[in-house]
Amino acid sequence: MKCLVAVLVCMVLAEGIVKIPLQKHKSMREALREKGVELPDQDPALKYQADEFAGSANMYINNYGDATYYGAISIGTPPPPPPSFQVLFDTGSANLWVDSVYCNTQACNTKFNPQQSSTYSGKRQSFYLLYGVFGYDTVNVGGIVIYNQEIGLSTNEPGQKFVVAKFDGILGLSYPSISAGGETPVMDNMISQNLLNADIFAFYLSRDNCHKASIREGQQGSMLSFGGVDNSMYQGQIHWTPVTSETYWQIGVDGFQINGQETGWCSQGCQSIVDTGISMLTAPSQLMGSIMQAIGAQQSQYGQYMVDCSQINNLPTLSFVISGVSFPLPPSAYIIQHYQNGYQFCSVGITPTYLPSRDGRPLWIFGDVFLREYYSIYDRTYNLGFAAAF
């Protein structure tokens, strides 16, 4: 899939930990039992939800090599605790799927077994994403418990890209219109089940710096919030812009500047998809040559664009104008520094896309290169916000 290529840059098995101290609190079931009230058996996941997280949740997620941002969720209702799965949190897709016992390919490691969950119910419909089947079960995301959540259970994950991935599935956060099989995304079930104070979620993506050191475990420090924003993750004002297509998180781009000078490349309007599942900044293919020329990058024999590491501070700042506000990317944001066998080399974290947006305008993709600079807020009242990240 599109979001997994960059995982090959750094290969480390990281243990994702949701830093929500659920096990340290008396469960809701236990507290009610002491008062003579017994919850029904189909509601066991309430054991793992502390009162203080009702309506919102902040969960730490892992950053693996500045290429993948993933964290732990739990699925099903076996004896406690329910099994944990590492999932990529992806604003560029809409489905939730995980490895399952039906999958026998090398990529399937941590497998969900529906026969071990008393709350699982099956569905005959299959899905095309990874050749799998759909089912329903209880899902816990950062302490927010979603009932009857549709889940894709993979039966086949071909190729090597899933083998090296550091996660067991994907949790899609885009709009239901692009959901495979017409299934209801996690966010939509949170909304319909009145689990959130506000119908928003937000990302803070940290820098792992694994390119500057030996390969190591995925680093925490990135944050995913549901139902609210974390004011400690950004500074200054939040700037809002409307969503232009309720498919992906797509927005309009009014201008593109190099060192503060308008290029005119988006004078007729560009579009951009904001995608946490893409590690790079993706530019329209027809602009790629001009951008690399402005940066002074040279293409290597392997197709990568490279720059002299000693010249990083002299490279231009690239800026996007969105709803009248300029969002700069300094060279420290779009240049990736690598260290290998005692040698340093620097590549440009920008790749081309050859597809236009659905309305035919030049299409950018704001992947993690952009999103590490800006705290991003996704409001299902059809607005997307950016603020300077700490």
Q: Are 208 and 218 in contact (CB under 8 A)?
A: yes
Write out the DSSP string of 92-105. Answer: T---EEEEBTT--S
From the candidates 66, 137, 275, 368, give the one annotated as an active-site residue.
275
How far apart are alpha carbons 295 and 329 in whole angstroms? 12
Closest among 279, 274, 289, 298 to 357, alpha carbons compared: 274
How far apart are alpha carbons 75 and 60 in whole angstroms? 18
275 is catalytic: yes
Beta strand residue intervals within 185-269, DSSP E: 200-204, 219-226, 234-246, 249-253, 255-258, 261-262
From the candidates 66, 90, 188, 368, give the one annotated as an active-site residue.
90
Q: Are 333 and 245 in contact (CB under 8 A)?
A: no
99 is catalytic: no
Assign 181 to helix, strand or coil.
helix
| Class of residue 259 by CB neighbours under 10 A (exposed 0-12, middle 13-18, buried 19+) | exposed
Q: Which amino acid is at 325?
A: V
Q: Which positions are catalytic?
A: 90, 275
